[in-house]
Structure 1
Amino acid sequence: MILDCSILPDDPDELKRIICELQESHAAEVCLLQKQVRHLYDKLFGRKSEKSRYGEESPQLALFDMPEPDPDATPEAPVEVEKHTRRKKGRKPLPDNLPRVEIIHDIDEQEKICHCGAELSRISEEVSEKLDIIPAVIQVVRHIRPKYSCKHCENAAEKGPTVKIAPVPVQLLPKAIASCGLMAHILTAKFVDSLPFYRQERQFDRLGADIFRFIRLKRTLFHEEPLFST
């Protein structure tokens, strides 16, 4: 086959013959390349367990390879399925154990009068529930212990003044500013909710708590200061 364009013949018939040979050669090469590509795709993405209906070397799979019905097989009996009612999907109702606060959005009294002059009657109502939360509130619990003394015994030198007062309530950490409820809140946030102490300090700071005293409380929890005063 002539590949050099500078030595092509001048005869038109010879040129047509060369062009036809080139077309046939290119068509054969294209067909071969297409087969190789199909074979490669079958090897990469085809099912390894399936076998071709036309032989192992052919990448073409059977399109209508359905099993023929067995004439000796007995027909299967029909199976009855019980009717069922599909539950409508919707929002899950809020728990009944949560307290409810009712807010009534009513129309004006003037709108309760019909155009005929009669008063409208309340026939029903529409209720929609929204989940709300009350933010944390810091408060100070004052433990007041009144003192009592006997005015008649104030001048008695032999027994001295008589003063009575209630004992100090039992505390988790003596002389600490934190109550049992605050201690439980701090420990739960730290060891259950994985909330670091520095983030709790920011929360208490927004609520108006004393950050310095809170830091001392944290040190007390981790034995950086003595648990009990001596």
Structure 2
Amino acid sequence: MPRIVEILMPAETSCPCCNGDLFEISHDESQRLDVVPAQYRVIVTRRPKLACRACHGVVLQQAAPERLIRGGLPTERLVAHVIDAKYHWHLPLYRQAQMLATHGIALDRSTLAFWVGYAAQELKASSAPASARLLEALCR
């Protein structure tokens, strides 16, 4: 488990009697358990188009990366999160949709159900490259 160390130094680091520098002889330490709530983010994929000034008509662009759902919104990690919450933690899709709404993400449970069903089909045809990425995301 990651640990964040906070060092709280006294405001004064010189001796109140002689004004000499103080040095550490020991320290007291306490621990508290903290939580960082789920963080949702949007991954923006920008693919610049490059053109040659000398050669007219030459335009190059990197191919778009494959997605689990062609043209779809979710990353493999998000779909894996939905599947894990549904089957491992028994959290119904309507509740997951409500939880997403509290983060300002409006997704209907039918959309989540489509993602789960699509992922199941991909896993069924386990030779597909998308299923390998989905399994990798599930194992994180």
**Which of 27, 35, 38 pairs up with 1:136?**
38
* Structure 2, gaps ≥5 residues long: 123-140
2:106 aligned with 1:195:
no
Structure 1 residues 148 and 118: CA distance shift in structure 2, 3 A:
closer
| Contact persistence 1:171–1:179 (CA under 8 A) | yes
Structure 1 residues 194 and 222: CA distance shift in structure 2, 3 A:
same
Q: What TM-score comes out, normalization by structure 2 length?
A: 0.71
CA RMSD of aligned residues (A): 2.4
Corresponding position of 2:7 = 104
| Contact persistence 2:47–2:61 (CA under 8 A) | yes
- Secondary structure in structure 2 of the residue aligned to 1:188: helix
| Contact persistence 2:97–2:106 (CA under 8 A) | no
Distance of 1:193 and 1:145 partners within structure 2 = 38
- Secondary structure in structure 2 of the residue aligned to 1:216: helix
| Contact persistence 1:138–1:208 (CA under 8 A) | no
Alpha-carbon shift at residue 211 of structure 1 (Å): 2.5
Q: What TM-score comes out, normalization by structure 1 length?
A: 0.45
Larger CA Rg, structure 1 vs 2: 1
Alpha-carbon shift at residue 181 of structure 1 (Å): 1.1
Corresponding position of 2:117 = 222
Alpha-carbon shift at residue 107 of structure 1 (Å): 2.7
Please show how residues 1-230 of structure 1 align to structure 2 within 5 Å. Answer: 98-109=1-12, 113-114=15-16, 116-117=17-18, 119=20, 120-154=22-56, 161-212=57-108, 215-222=110-117
Alpha-carbon shift at residue 109 of structure 1 (Å): 0.6
Alpha-carbon shift at residue 118 of structure 1 (Å): 5.2
Structure showing greater relative contact order (alpha-carbon pairs closer than 8 Å, 6 or more residues apart): 2
Distance of 1:102 and 1:220 partners within structure 2 = 40
Paired residue type of 1:218: A
Distance of 2:23 and 2:66 partners within structure 1 = 60
Distance of 2:50 and 2:24 partners within structure 1 = 62
Corresponding position of 2:133 = none
* Structure 1, gaps ≥5 residues long: 1-97, 155-160
Distance of 1:99 and 1:166 partners within structure 2 = 37
Alpha-carbon shift at residue 218 of structure 1 (Å): 2.7
Alpha-carbon shift at residue 221 of structure 1 (Å): 3.0
Alpha-carbon shift at residue 124 of structure 1 (Å): 0.8
Distance of 1:168 and 1:118 partners within structure 2 = 65
Q: Percent identity?
A: 29
| Contact persistence 2:50–2:61 (CA under 8 A) | yes
Q: Per-residue displacement from partner, 1:12-35 (whole Å, max 9, x unpaired)?
A: xxxxxxxxxxxxxxxxxxxxxxxx
Give the count of matched residue pairs.
118
